[in-house]
Amino acid sequence: MNSNGKSDNKHITSAAAAAAADPWFSNYADRALGMRQSEVRSLFAVANRPEVVSLAGGMPNIDGLPLDFLADATSKLIRERGKKALQYGSGQGEEFLRSAICEVMRPDGITANPDNIIVTIGSQQSLDLISQVFLNPGDTVLVEAPSYVGALGVFDAYQADIQHVQMDNDGLIPSVLEETIIRLQKEGKNIKFLYTIPNFHNPGGMCLSAERRPLIVEICKKYNILLVEDNPYGLLGFSGDPVPSLYNLNPEGILYLGTFSKTFAPGFRIGWTLGPQAIIERLVLANESATLCPPAFSQFAITTYLEQYDWYQQVKEYREVYHERGEAMQKALEKYLPDLEWTRPTGGFYTWVKLPDGIDARDMLPRAVDCGVAYVAGNAFYADGETGADHIRLSFCYPSPEEITEGVRRLSIAIKQELENKY
Ligand code: PMP
């Protein structure tokens, strides 16, 4: 058996097939062989067919963006400051944006110093830099069960040993986290960090409860495990109440990841990591070798937006849009699939739905697409690519409330047909 628990025979056959299809196959580094196409990306082609309601992708809804303002502001930016905005910049990111980011994090209760921030190409690149700096092949990373597919892909590419830790409706379960750490350390595993999405989880939709927050942080502190807090959706709670960060509970032991992708626009590709000075310095070195510097133009444009536009009002508008869509999904699930279990998110983009016993989300997908609806099969959110196939992730961020209702109705037909076919 190889480290994935799959038989070597199967591995050899697939390696031979891959070598036949690609003459460069034997030249690739081991880490490149660990890279998988995201299930979400593979779905894009089908999900984008106009007749299919896609409850699959996590594309933010940017209909409300002030395009006229952005057009004027960016053309003024190029005319008046183009020679700076179109030049190479600092490997850590521009100081003025890092200061502005400190203000953006204030609603999370974070008081930060711009020196402790590195600007990255989306929080996705933060994940890559953190992995590059911390992970040797075989090192263990703790993640939630399930976890963000894009993070799993990065950890996999760095040949990490990914271990899932159980969650429930209140998020990560502290006692299970501690048991897992004790067990893995006894087995001699080198646990490098815990990767967690405490707020409006992707794909789970749940939010880590206030009572559990200090417990999770204390456990990481006790066992000397770095905590990576990924928070793309924190400002998108339906109630608008701020969600206190984990970061504040132990700034010396936490890397906090933020992004403008969900609260502004993903196309600028700007995210950041906040953390202890020494780690940030290493991430800057890694960033310089990866990209020299984050894109200067995006940083200038975002800073202009933050300074000259009421960005927080824009976030409130996004929040209302997602709230309405989240409610539409709950109502549709109650109406069309009342016997199933699903999470009831209080923010973010996603609902995690348990399928009836015996249905495999992967097997059902072609039928669902025939019925005119797409979702992501739950196994995409587990490192072994197998666990979780009894769940699906439904996104409510992009389709309209009417499309969501129709999509769930079609899903209920697909499930009914699948059950009839099975039994
Ligand atoms: N983390 C999580 C949990 C996400 O859902 C996403 C986007 N889907 C990202 C990180 C990456 O976002 P970006 O690179 O656009 O900042």
Domain boundaries, the chain: 39-65+313-422, 87-308
CA dihedral 43, 127, 390, 178 (to 10 degrees): 180
**Using one digit for the tens of pLDDT, what is the confidence trace for 293-325?**
999 999 999 999 999 999 999 999 999 999 999
- Given ligand 1 and candidates 40, 124, 376, which is best to mutate, with the most ligand atoms within 8 Å of its CB? 124
- Given ligand 1 and candidates 62, 230, 268, 302, which is best to mutate, with the most ligand atoms within 8 Å of its CB? 230
User: 87-308, what's its fold?
Assistant: Aspartate Aminotransferase; domain 2 (3.40.640)
- If you measure from the C-alpha of residue 127 to the centroid of ligand 1, how many angstroms do you get, rounded to a whole number? 9
Residue 200, pLDDT > 60, answer yes
Per-residue model confidence (pLDDT) at position 322: 97
Per-residue model confidence (pLDDT) at position 7: 42
Other residues' Cβ atoms within 10 Å of the Cβ of residue 299:
23
Return the ligand 1 atom nearest residue 269 CA.
Answer: 15
Atom 11 in ligand 1: residue holding the nearest Cα: 124
Residue in 54, 113, 162, 67 with CA at minimum distance from that of residue 399: 54
Residue 10, pLDDT > 60, answer no
- If you measure from the C-alpha of residue 262 to the centroid of ligand 1, how many angstroms do you get, rounded to a whole number? 8
The class of domain 39-65+313-422 in CATH terms is alpha beta
- What is the overall mean pLDDT for the chain? 92
Pocket lining for ligand 1, CB < 6 angstroms: 58, 122-124, 148, 150, 197, 202, 230, 232, 259, 261, 266, 271
**Using one digit for the tens of pLDDT, what is the confidence trace for 212-240?**
999 999 999 999 999 999 999 999 999 98
Taking the C-alpha atoms of residue 233 and residue 348, their distance in angstroms, rounded to an integer, is: 5
Residue in 77, 92, 146 with CA at minimum distance from that of residue 303: 77
- If you measure from the C-alpha of residue 330 to the centroid of ligand 1, how many angstroms do you get, rounded to a whole number? 24
Q: In sequence order, which residues have a C-beta less than 8 Å from that of residue 422 and are 6 or more positions away?
A: 358, 359
Return the ligand 1 atom nearest residue 266 CA.
Answer: 15
- If you measure from the C-alpha of residue 2 to the centroid of ligand 1, how many angstroms do you get, rounded to a whole number? 30
Residue 43, pLDDT > 70, answer no
- What number is the average pLDDT over the span 414-421? 93
| Per-residue confidence band for 20, with pLDDT thresholds at 50, 70 and 90 | confident
Three-state DSSP state, 391: strand
Taking the C-alpha atoms of residue 261 and residue 163, their distance in angstroms, rounded to an integer, is: 27
Return the ligand 1 atom nearest residue 124 CA.
Answer: 14
- If you measure from the C-alpha of residue 151 to the centroid of ligand 1, how many angstroms do you get, rounded to a whole number? 8
- What number is the average pLDDT over the span 151-168? 96
Residue 400, pLDDT > 70, answer yes
- Given ligand 1 and candidates 235, 261, 322, which is best to mutate, with the most ligand atoms within 8 Å of its CB? 261
| Per-residue confidence band for 34, with pLDDT thresholds at 50, 70 and 90 | low
- 92: tokens are 């850590």
Residue 37, pLDDT > 90, answer no
Atom 13 in ligand 1: residue holding the nearest Cα: 122
Per-residue model confidence (pLDDT) at position 58: 87
Greatest Cα-to-Cα distance within the chain, rounded to the nearest angstrom: 69
> Where do we find the tokens 């989300």?
361
Taking the C-alpha atoms of residue 228 and residue 155, their distance in angstroms, rounded to an integer, is: 13
**Using one digit for the tens of pLDDT, what is the confidence trace for 174-196?**
999 999 999 999 999 999 999 99
- What number is the average pLDDT over the span 245-261? 97
Atom 8 in ligand 1: residue holding the nearest Cα: 58
Residue 13, pLDDT > 70, answer no
Residue 265, pLDDT > 70, answer yes
How many Cα atoms are found within 13 Å in the side-chain-facing hemisphere of 203? 31
Residue 160, pLDDT > 50, answer yes
- If you measure from the C-alpha of residue 382 to the centroid of ligand 1, how many angstroms do you get, rounded to a whole number? 16
Which of 9-13, 40-44, 290-294 has the lowest average pLDDT? 9-13
Per-residue model confidence (pLDDT) at position 3: 37
**Using one digit for the tens of pLDDT, what is the confidence trace for 50-95?**
899 999 988 999 998 999 999 999 999 999 999 999 999 999 999 9
- If you measure from the C-alpha of residue 406 to the centroid of ligand 1, how many angstroms do you get, rounded to a whole number? 27
